[in-house]
Amino acid sequence: MNQPEIVCHDVLQSRHFSDSQNKAFAIRSPFEWFCLATKDLQDYPLVLAVVAEGVDENIEWVNCIKKHPNWKVECHGWIHRDYRKISLDEGMKELIKAKYKIESTFDQKVTRFFPPKLQINERTLELCRIVSLKQDETSSLSYDWVKDKTIPSFYFHYWAKWDLKKMEEVRQALAERQ
Ligand SMILES: [Zn+2]
């Protein structure tokens, strides 16, 4: 079986929330949403796109991630911002800082950058080249692989109702394939 890559975005994000995030976090904390979204993916080789500024503010969340040897952490920025619109110097400093923070916290090598909201251009590509990260261009929350089994990866948001509903379908499809 070709196992799809599942990427969870906005992990450990602690500020610069969207309206839909604020609405969701009025009901549950980000960490509670994350636990709910990943409850059936405990042993899955899940990829977590981490917003590094939230690492020091979410000790419980960090410790939870560390208890999952199959989960891989990667970089989703220092803060959740549009890295296309940042100076090369500032962007470089933020990504280097983020990479170091995530690597030293989780004792894992960070090799990929998942740009917030998939906002990519020449600038983000240049930034990735300078800081030696591979830019990820996973384009959407795609479930086509459930049907045709050819799409190997997609991403989701742990706090989004629609994504969680879709994750249920993904889990079912994975279970049926085993
Ligand atoms: Zn994001």
- Write down the mean pLDDT value for the chain: 89
- Residue-wise pLDDT tens digits, 83-129: 999 999 999 999 999 999 999 999 999 999 999 988 899 999 999 99
pLDDT of residue 142: 54
Q: Is the pTM of this model over 0.75?
A: yes
How far is ligand 1, taken at its centre, from the CA of residue 90, in Å?
19
Q: How confident is the model at residue 75 (pLDDT cuts 50, 70, 90)?
A: very high
Residue 67 CA to ligand 1 centre (angstroms) = 23
Q: Which of the four CATH numbers 3.20.20.370, 1.25.40.10, 1.10.3720.10, 3.40.50.1820 does domain 5-177 have? A: 3.20.20.370
pLDDT at 170 over 60: yes
Q: What confidence tier does 140 reach under pLDDT thresholds 50, 70, 90?
A: low
Burial 119-136 (b: 16+ CB within 10 A, else e): ebeebbeebbeebebebb
Burial 20-39 (b: 16+ CB within 10 A, else e): ebeebeeeeebbebbeebbe
* pLDDT the model gives residue 143: 55
Using the mean position of ligand 1's atoms as its centre, give its distance from the Cα of residue 10 in Å. Answer: 5
What are the extents of the domains in the chain?
A: 5-177
